Structures are given as structure tokens and as C-alpha cells.
Amino acid sequence: MTRERLRGTRRTRSAWGGGRLALVLLLAALLLPAANHLVGDFGLLDPVKAIFLYAILGLGLNVVMGFTGLLHLGIAAFMAIGVYAFAILTADIYPFQLGFWPAMFLTLPIGAAAGFLLGAPTLGLRGDYLAIVTLGFGEITQDVLKNLDTITNGTQGINPVPPPTLPWFEHGDQGWMLTWYEFQKDAPLPWYYLFLALLVIIVVLNRNLEHSRIGRAWMSVREDDLASKAMGIPPVRTKILAFATAAALAAFAGGLWASSLSSSGEPANYDFQVSILALCIVIVGGMGNITGVLIGAIAVSGANDIVLQKLFEWMQQNGWTSTGSVFGSPNNWKFLMFGLALILMMRFKPDGLVPARRRKGGAPADPGPAAESSSHEEAA
């Protein structure tokens, strides 16, 4: 097979295979509210809105884990930084009092700066050690947010945090006028579509990033640190960039999260569990594959917030649960479910539901033979 043909088939397959699935997902997401309206309200809008946020968080983690091949166990810390940055920039009790959009845009550089500050001194460490540092950073962030209660209000959190606003035309006394529409708690539809739109923008940006010079540098560092160094790609700087990008995306998800809760919530909401949830999303979906992350977000967050919840509601209606027993509450089964899901996925489908094209059987620390051969093909 000639090089051109090989490249060509591969490129189109990826553009179609992942893209088609992503389009189907988008269509389903667009139509869900209508179906909700026609068939009957299943209360799906809020959980699906949460899925959008988890997808953004997962896409951020995917930049570090999937593209660059570094194990990151503290992504929730950057989400928390985004949450608190957004809350402090907008809430009435602070001097800044920015609007939704300026504050949201500021979460990106703030998150990136935090990622840079953690990454710059530590990204020279070997894989396992780096994972521990990210884990430690997650713990530190949570404790600092809890303990600096003069600034962060401790476990009470900062509230109220303002909802999103959009420019809107309103028919008033002087005809049509440009005003700002403020999102309301009891009208879920604008939230839903706003979050979906932001997710779509981030997916497109991620996709472009993946195929850009930076994205290729990330992947080359993932496949072989030393070889890419020999090719003139500075590994540590490339990794720092990935780290900062992931942190920025996580912080952005955090800002949206705070706005949708209209509160920063307590620091413990952004603990190790959230980092693991994001990890599950990336791993279940397929590391390094954007469509995979979307599927992962649907599978993991959907299983968590929709399937399990509905199942237990249904069981409760049939009187199959008892409140006195530890087995009676769905929350008490979550650990078991996630644990088994991780174990079984790793055993039988370690590349995720939608494996990335370039990394068959590859892993951050030790790219398997298949990944090696594919990179040889590329070089040939």
C-alpha cells in the first residue's frame, strides 16, 4: 500500500467514523427536549445538562491523558479553581462583580495559570510520580479552599452566583429593544441549549487542536518522549501546554457548574471522586478519542445520574427497597458499580468503547507493539 493511500484511507475513516457518531449524538441532544415534550417528561433535561458539563471536564482530561499520555488524578482541583474563580469574580460580596460572560472567559486563563504553576516544576517527573503529585494537588486545593474561609466561606460556599445572560430583543414601548435575558431556574431549556452550544464549540476546538501542530506534538510525546525530543519537540514544554489546556477546560466546566448551581457549593464537592469520575469517562469512552469521551460521559454520568436513579425509583414504587437497610439506597451501590465497571473495562476492553485510531493497545508509559508499529507506518 502506498503511503498516500494509507494516509488517505486513515484520514477519511477518522473524519467520518468519529464525526458521524458525533453528529448523531448532536442530533439526539438537539431533539431530546422535543421528545421530552412529546412523549412525556422524564426529567431528563437536568441530568443531560450535567452530562454536557462532565463531557467538557472529560475533554479536558483527555488532552492530558489521551493525547499526551500522562496519568492525571487531580482534574477536579482545576474544576474547583474554576468554580471559585467564577464565584469570586461574580458574587456580590466581592469587589469584582463581573457579568457571566467576562467571568467565564476569565476562568480559562486562571485555570491555565493554575495548571502551569503545578505543571512547570513537576512535569519532569516519571509517570507514576506525576500521578501522585496531581492527586496531592487535588487534596491540597480542596483543603485550602475549605480552610481559607475568610475568602471562600469554607464549607458554606459562595452564593448566590449569577446565572448566564444572553442579549435578547424585547418588544417594549419603543418597539424592539436590545436587552439582556437572564436565565431562570424554572426554565431549564435555555440552560440546556447554552451548555450544549458551549460543548459543541469546545468539541470543535478540541478537534482542531488534535490535528494542529500542538496536537501532533502531544501525541508524539505520548508515543515516545525521547524520539520526539530528538525531532526537536521539547517534551516538558509540550506536556506543560497540555496540562494548562486541560486545566483551562476543567476550570471552564467549573464556572458553568457554579452558575448552574447558583452557588460554589462546598469544596468537598470537587474531591477525588470527581477526578475519578472524569477518569472513568475518558477510559470508558476511549482515551485520546473525542467522540469516545462524549460516549464515555453519556455512559458514566448517565449510568450514575439517570439509569441508577430511575432503577431505584422504580424499585421503590414496587416496594422492593427498604430504607432501614444499607442495601436500600442507590448511593450505596455506586462505588461497587464504578469499581466493577473499571475492572471489567480494563480486563476486556482496555481501549474503551470507541478506541482511538492511533493508539491501539498503547499506554502512556509503555506503548505496546501495536502502537509502535502504527507509528512506524506513519514514519515510513
Task: List residues near other proteins by CB under 8 A.
Answer: 71, 121-122, 124-129, 131-133, 136-137, 139-140, 143-144, 146-147, 225-226, 272, 276, 279, 283, 325-327, 332-336, 338-343, 345-347, 350, 361-366, 368
Q: What is the CA radius of gyration of the chain?
A: 22
State which residue, 176 or 327, has the beta carbon closest to other proteins. 327
Least CB distance to other proteins at residue 263 (A): 22
Least CB distance to other proteins at residue 276 (A): 7
State which residue, 131 or 200, has the beta carbon closest to other proteins. 131
State which residue, 23 or 340, has the beta carbon closest to other proteins. 340
Least CB distance to other proteins at residue 58 (A): 15
State which residue, 196 or 284, has the beta carbon closest to other proteins. 284
State which residue, 138 or 254, has the beta carbon closest to other proteins. 138
CA–CA dist 277, 267 (Å, integer): 16
Least CB distance to other proteins at residue 326 (A): 3
C-alpha cell at 313: 425509583
Least CB distance to other proteins at residue 61 (A): 13
Least CB distance to other proteins at residue 372 (A): 12
Taking alpha carbons only, the member of 260, 284, 259, 257 closest to residue 346 is: 284
State which residue, 1 or 336, has the beta carbon closest to other proteins. 336
Least CB distance to other proteins at residue 360 (A): 12
Burial 108-123 (b: 16+ CB within 10 A, else e): bebbbbbbbebbeebb
State which residue, 157 or 364, has the beta carbon closest to other proteins. 364
Least CB distance to other proteins at residue 266 (A): 14
Least CB distance to other proteins at residue 144 (A): 6
Distance of CA 240 to the CA centre of its chain: 18
CA–CA dist 187, 318 (Å, integer): 32
Least CB distance to other proteins at residue 254 (A): 20
State which residue, 29 or 77, has the beta carbon closest to other proteins. 77
State which residue, 146 or 357, has the beta carbon closest to other proteins. 146
Question: HEC profile for the chain?
Answer: CCHHHHHHHHHHHHHHHHHHHHHHHHHHHHHHHHHHHHHCCCCCHHHHHHHHHHHHHHHHHHHHHHHCCCCCCCHHHHHHHHHHHHHHHHCCCCCCCCCHHHHHHHHHHHHHHHHHHHHHHHCCCCHHHHHHHHHHHHHHHHHHHHHCHHHHCHHHCCCCCCCCEEEEEEEECCEEEEEEEECCCCCHHHHHHHHHHHHHHHHHHHHHHHCCHHHHHHHHHHHCHHHHHHCCCCHHHHHHHHHHHHHHHHHHHHHHHHHHHCCCCCHHHHCHHHHHHHHHHHHHHCCCCHHHHHHHHHHHHHHHHHHHHHHHHHHHHCCCCCCCCHHHCHHHHHHHHHHHHHHHHHHHCCCCCCCCCCCCCCCCCCCCHHHHHHHHHHHC
State which residue, 165 or 329, has the beta carbon closest to other proteins. 329
